[in-house]
Amino acid sequence: MENVAQDAQFAAEYNADVDVDKIAEVYAKAYLNAVKTDNSSIDDAVEEFALLVNILKSHEKFAEVLASAMVSSEEKIILLERVIPKYFSKLFMNFLRVVARRNRLEILVPIYRQTCIILDEQHERIPVVITTATEIDSELLKTLSSKLAGIIGGEPIIRSVVDPATIGGLIVRVGDTVYDASLLTQLNSVRKQLIERSVQEIQSHRENFQND
């Protein structure tokens, strides 16, 4: 499940092209429906897709050939069958053949991201970006996640961003919504810990400066 949560974060960071994503969403739904019909593991199916995405990112030439309009769909299928079948299930290979025959291999990454987004919605996993002045440790992150879950009505998938300009503060973004002081008030105990940590770091820097 940890990998699926990471997939959710990956999807949350994606700056979407609306037209491409509409097409990608259709393929993502078809893939997930096929997985469900086959009684296969959804998590395994997503991780299998993630593996392909990583291969495409690591081998740019391979990705370029699959996306090229100069290469026929049948040639792309032959290439896929020759290079990667040992890594993937029969179901996933069949899905790739369908995408290839419809000349959509160039949007495999958007299809993957839409797959993650659909699963997040089904499981009420909500991408959240939290900006703080200092790094959040695991215990504090756990406390923050627990408080947020009750506020946003789902499981927060948190991406932490460090920005020194927010010293003593906390910015919580859910989708296009930036929560204001009303939510920060509910997170007051967490905010106090962040303030205390910032003060300690400032004092530590001063002491180091004096010692130098």
User: What SS3 state is found at 41?
Assistant: coil
User: What SS3 state is found at 102?
Assistant: coil
Report pLDDT for 160: 82
Higher pLDDT, 79 or 190: 79
Domains and CATH numbers, the chain: 2-121 (1.10.520.20), 124-211 (3.40.30)
Report pLDDT for 92: 94
pTM summary value:
0.61
Report pLDDT for 169: 66
Q: How confident is the model at residue 145 (pLDDT cuts 50, 70, 90)?
A: confident
Report pLDDT for 185: 58
Q: How confident is the model at residue 1 (pLDDT cuts 50, 70, 90)?
A: very low
Per residue in 73-111, pLDDT (tens digit) is 999 999 998 888 777 999 999 999 999 999 999 999 999
Integer Cα distance of 24 and 22 in angstroms: 5
For residue 74, what is the DSSP state?
H
Q: Residue 71, Cα to own-chain centre: how many angstroms? A: 31
Residue 186 vs residues 126, 138, 163, 179, 181: alpha-carbon distances, Å:
18, 20, 22, 11, 9
Most confident region among 96-100, 142-146, 176-180, 193-197 by mean pLDDT: 96-100
| R_g of the chain computed on alpha carbons | 22
Integer Cα distance of 115 and 133 in angstroms: 33
Q: How confident is the model at residue 11 (pLDDT cuts 50, 70, 90)?
A: very low
Report pLDDT for 10: 42
Residue 12 vs residues 49, 109, 121, 199: alpha-carbon distances, Å:
17, 14, 12, 32
Q: Which two tokens stand for residue 65?
A: 């050939």
